[in-house]
Amino acid sequence: MWLPAAIAVAGIVAIVLGHGRNSEAAAGVGLIIVALIVWMINWLFRLSFQSNRDRDQEERAREYFDRHGRWPGEDGR
């Protein structure tokens, strides 16, 4: 979370120092794009871990159902 923010701040600083007219400003825009890419990759990575946890939880619930004949959390009526 901090890495994309740091990259974006560096990009903003480069844009301000370049006054929008030279290669420093272009590098700043590039850094902001890189920050967005790093953030999105991090988000997708975390999303994949959440998906794996959900899948494992569902598998445990199915194993419980196979053993007990009911879903976990259901009352035994």
Domain edges within the chain? 2-68
Query: Is residue 43 pLDDT above 80, yes or no?
Result: yes
| CA–CA separation, 26 and 61 (whole Å) | 53
Global pTM reads 0.65
- DSSP letter string, 26-75: HHHHHHHHHHHHHHHHHHHHHHHHHHHHHHHHHHHHHHHHHHHSS-TT--
Q: What is the pLDDT of residues 5-25, one digit of tens each?
A: 999 999 999 989 888 678 888
The single residue listed with the structure tokens 């994949």 is: 48
